[in-house]
Amino acid sequence: MKKKGIRFLLFWALALAALCLAVPVQAAKVINNGTDTLQYGKYIYYLDGNNNIYRIGTDNKGKKKLGTTDVYPRQLYILGNKLYFGRKGKVYATPLNKNSAKAVVSGTLLGAYGNRIFYLDGKGNVYAITTDKKEKKFLFTLTPSGEITSAGTSGKVLILNCEANAASTHVVYVDMSNVTWQVLTKETRASAYENRPRVEDFVVKNNTLYYASGYFGGTGYFFNGNLKKISLTGEGETTIAKNIGSENSFISVNFDCLLYENGGYLYYSDNSGAKKYKFSNGKISSAAGNGFFTSAGKYVYYAETKKKTVTVYRFSLNGSSAKGKKVASFKVKDNCTYSVSKASQAGKYVVLRFDKRTFGGRWQGDYQGTDVYKMKTDGKGLKKIG
């Protein structure tokens, strides 16, 4: 990895960049997309604040650790009867009921679909391999200085931001059902941080990709962004919203809309990019740590911290109310500001990850860790689970 110039970004996942060739293959049933949280049967699988994998019953019983520290975020997949995840340069699989993970391949996990795992090996090659290891298909090779700074999956779609060097970046679409790939965009920029596509969150609808591109700092902040769309054939690139805000400013949802932050307010629009609705719970202050918006299912969640009380609000994406609804609250003993850094829907439940910081907001102040809570979508049954 090191001699190929490939590095891992734990929060935005993964590393790589520019390209070669593809081979078609048959796909099987998809179980879920890469995520920090998922429900399967009567259990919820999730990452705690230290990125350990746990399983807990929907009745809050039977909590069990399934994976060790430093599991890469956004990479939990259930294929067949096993849970797959990435950790320290290897892809692991563990049974759904016990901690007995074994390495499947050496490399960085990029995505999974049906019975295939997509990964980057230590020599800069991207492969797809079946879970039984009987079929291995080569996709493309990176340039020596290339890296992937962000990656995301949705169903059979894998989107990669591949950077060939500091002055060039590419958005690459991989069809995981056919094991084919396509370079969608090529952008130049004045520095390594500008015009950087952020593809952990995206929408694919009617064979069109919607994503954000902007200034992406090394510590994770994102601003001066543009919301863009482009056909999965690489045609018709269009900017549909400009100057979208800060970290978590663009969010993909399993809903018929696009969701993004602009000037501290939350908007959703149809696929044309027209502003159809503005959520107006007051201007959300980043400095107060309340500017984190994250979606799960048909709702968007954010938190406010005042006088050691954390209040969770929920916006409905059907436009029924412009004001966030209070759904839950809890007391804390520390002097930290709590922000919802991730909300993941698992069946009838939502798992919320709260980043804790002393003074300041999302990227201001000292990070003090992450707490994980579980509740029903209406806010009932809130319980700390990690």
Q: What are the extents of the domains in the chain?
A: 282-386
Question: Would you state the pLDDT for residue 132?
Answer: 92
Taking only the tens place, the pLDDT of each residue in 161-179 is 777 666 667 788 899 999 9
Is 70 exceeded by the pLDDT of residue 26? Answer: no
* CA distance to 74, 80, 211, 260, per residue, from 102 (Å): 19, 15, 35, 39
CA distance 259 to 154: 16
Backbone angles phi, psi at 322, to 5 degrees: -80, -15
The top-scoring range by mean pLDDT among 6-20, 27-41, 372-386 is 372-386
> DSSP letter at 191?
S
Question: Would you state the pLDDT for residue 161?
Answer: 76
Contacts of 219 (CB under 8 A, 6+ apart): 363
**Which of 155, 84, 90 is closest to 122 using CA atoms?**
90
Is 50 exceeded by the pLDDT of residue 357? Answer: yes
pTM assigned to the model: 0.75
What's the rounded mean pLDDT across residues 339-358? Answer: 79
Question: Would you state the pLDDT for residue 128?
Answer: 94
CB 312 within 8 Å of CB 301: yes
What type of residue is 52?
A: N
What's the rounded mean pLDDT across residues 9-16? Answer: 28
Contacts of 230 (CB under 8 A, 6+ apart): 171, 184, 185, 208, 209, 236, 237, 238
CB 127 within 8 Å of CB 177: no
94: left (phi over 0), alpha (psi -120 to 50) or beta: beta
